[in-house]
Structure 1
Amino acid sequence: MQITDIKVRKFFEEGPMKAIASVTFDDCLAVHDVKVIYARDRYFIVMPSRKNPDGTYRDIVHPINSDFRCALEEAVIDAYHVQLVASQHDEENEDNAVII
């Protein structure tokens, strides 16, 4: 299974959650609401989950082995950084825009 697309849909400046991403696999399966978290001096991802009646959370979808989890985490975090820089560059260009 190959990651064929990653879209970072929302960015957050405040708090440990930095972004929410959608990941597409083999151009045929999309997983939404993958969270990019920065805590304890590192980035990591949190898979989509739901809250159980007892207050605990359970992943809706998750990697089965650590190799795939590492590859997924690296790809999502790399995409986050690329898209963050691109969005900051776009904001700088808007700030420097001349209106005629």
Structure 2
Amino acid sequence: MEITEVSITPLEESRLKAYVNITFDEVFVIHGLRVIQGNHGMFVSMPARRLPDGSYKDIAHPITNAFRLKIQQVVLDAYKEIISENTLEKTEDQKQENVAVQ
């Protein structure tokens, strides 16, 4: 099973960095993954629902640790790329604003 598309919606919140949708083999999509800044770095959280006792249960999740790591690597790489692009665009916009002001 291959990850064929990753859609990232970055956020400006402290620990929650982005919402993510991933598509597998161009035929199956999972919505609602999250990129979270944890105490030991960023990680990908699977979509979950809150149970009556206040705990959370994953709605969908990988069965093997190897596939979980693959999802995490692909998602975090895509997140870093989109953040890098957004930072570059902001830098370019600031340069254009500075030129316009002068």
Q: Common fold, TM-score beyond 0.5?
A: yes
What CA distance in whole angstroms lies between the structure 1 residues aligned with 2:43 and 2:3? 17
* Matching residue of 1:51: 50
Aligned mates of 2:20, 2:45 — CA distance in 1: 10
Match of 2:36 in 1: 37
Partner of 1:8: 8
Gaps of 5+ in 1: none
Structure with max Cα Rg: 2
Is the partner of 1:27 in helix, strand or coil? coil
Q: Percent identity?
A: 32
Offset, 1:96: 2.8
- Return the offset for 1:41: 2.8
Counterpart in the other structure of 1:25: 24
The residue number in structure 2 matching 1:75 is 74
Q: Is 1:97 matched up with 2:102?
A: no
* In structure 1, C-alpha distance between the alignment counterparts of 2:9 and 2:2, rounded to whole Å: 20
More helix by share: 2
Which deviates further from its counterpart, 34-43 or 72-81?
34-43
Shift of 1:39: 1.2
Poorly superposed stretches of 4+, deviation over 4 Å: none
- Aligned residues between the structures: 98
Structure 2: runs of 5 or more not aligned: none
